Structure 1
Amino acid sequence: MKNPLSLSQKLSFLAACFFTVVAPVIGYLTIGIAPVIIVGGSALIGLICWSLTYLKKPVEPRIILPLFILTVAGLQIHIVEEYLMGFAPAMSRLFDIPWSEKSFLMVFALIGPILYTLTSLGLYYKIPIAGFVAWFIFIGPGVAEFTHFIFPLITPDLLPHDPHPLTAAIAGTRIPDMPNFYFRTTRHYYFPGMWTAVLPMIPGCLAIYRLLIKNKPV
C-alpha cells in the first residue's frame, strides 16, 4: 500500500505545478517563445521526474547535494562565458526577441545564485520543493545546454547574412550590438556559451542517472 503524501509534499507539488505554468507564461510575455520551449520544457520534464522520485522519497543529501553544487558551479562559469560573448543579444537576433543584457544578468547572475543557495539548504534538510528545483536545474543545464551546439546552424530572424552587430528596437526594447553567429555567414562555428556548456552538463546528467537509475551514493 502506498503511503499518502504529507501536507508538505502536497504543497510542494502545487508550488511546482504553479511554477511550471507561470514561469513560461511570464517568459513568453516578456521575451518570447524561446523561454516557453526551454524553461517550460525543462520545468515539465523536471516536474514529472521529481514526482516519480524525490517527491515520494527525498534522496539522502550525500547523493544529490554534491552533484547539485557541481552543476550550479559549472553553470555559473558557463554564464560568465555567455555574458562576455553576448549570449542575450545573440539570442535576441537569432529569435527576434527583446532579451537585454540587464535582464540576463538579473535572472542568471543575481537571482539565480540566491535560488541555488536556498535549494542547497533545502536539499540538506530534504525539503520536497528543493528536489523539484534541483531536477529543474539538472534537466535545464544538465541536458538542454546541448542547444548551444545547434544555435550556430539556425538562420537568425534578423539580417542573417549581415555579419556585423545590429542595434534595433524589438517589441519596444532597444537591444544594442546584437552579434551574428550564423555559421553560413561567419564561417566560424561558435555561439556564446558553447565552450563551457559541458561543465554543467556532466554533473547534471550524472545526477539524472543516479536519481532515475542507480539512486545510490558513490
Structure 2
Amino acid sequence: MEKDVTQNFTWKAAFRKLFLAIVWFIMLSIIGLVILGVIMGGSKDGGENWGPGLGLALIFVAVVLPISALIAILVVSVKSPKGTRLKYFFALALFIGALAALWGAGMVAIVKTKDILGSSSTMCKLEPSQEKKDYCYKEQARINKDLTICEQSSTQDSCIDAYYFDLSRAGNNIDFCKQSPRPDKCFYDNIKFRADYNLFLDKNIETYKSICNSIGGVQLKNGCIELLNENFK
C-alpha cells in the first residue's frame, strides 16, 4: 500500500526550504549586481550623482528577483515528495510573494526618500567624493533655484556660475547675468550655449552684439562676437 506522503508535510519544512531558496536567489542577485555594476559603472549621466546602485537595485526588483524566486519555487516544489508538491509550491509562492512585496515597498520608500531629500543639499553629503559632492551641490542649487546651497560647495565660484547660467539660458532671460558676480563669463557662456544649439530666439544679431560688447574682458568679448558671426552668416 502506497504511503500517504501528504501526512509528512509541515510548514516548518516548507519554511526551511523557503529560507534556502531565498538565500539562493539573493546570492544570484548579488552576483548579477556586481556584473552589471562593472558594465554600467562607467556611465556618465545625471544618475551618476547617485551611482548605478539604486537603478540596478530597481532592475533586480523588477526583473531578476521575480525570475529567481520563480526558479526557486519550481526547484523546491519539484524536489518535494510527489503528494506535497502543490502545498510546497503555494507555501513558497505565498511567502516569496510577501517578501517581494516588502522588498518592493522598501525600494519605493528609498526612491521617495531620495525625491524628498533630493530637493535640498542633504543627500549631497552622502556622496563618496568631494568632486561628486560639489557636482551635487551645483545641481541642487540649479534645480531648486537656491544660491545658498553653493555655500556648501568647495568650488563655490563654479556653483554660482552654473546657477546664474541656468537662470539666464531659460527663454531669453540673459539679463539674469547682470546679477552674477562674474557677469562677463555668464554672458559669454550664455551666447556660447545658444550658438552651440542654435537657440537665438531673437534673429537680430545686433541684440546679441550689444551683449557681447558689454563684456569687459577683451578675449571673451572677441570670442563672443566670433560666435555670433558664425551663427548669423
Q: Same fold (TM over 0.5)?
A: no
Q: Report the structure number with the largest CA radius of gyration.
A: 2
**TM-score of the superposed pair, with normalisation by structure 2:** 0.31
Higher relative contact order (CA 8 A, sep 6+): 1
**TM-score of the superposed pair, with normalisation by structure 1:** 0.32
Structure with the largest fraction of strand: 1
Structure with the largest fraction of helix: 2
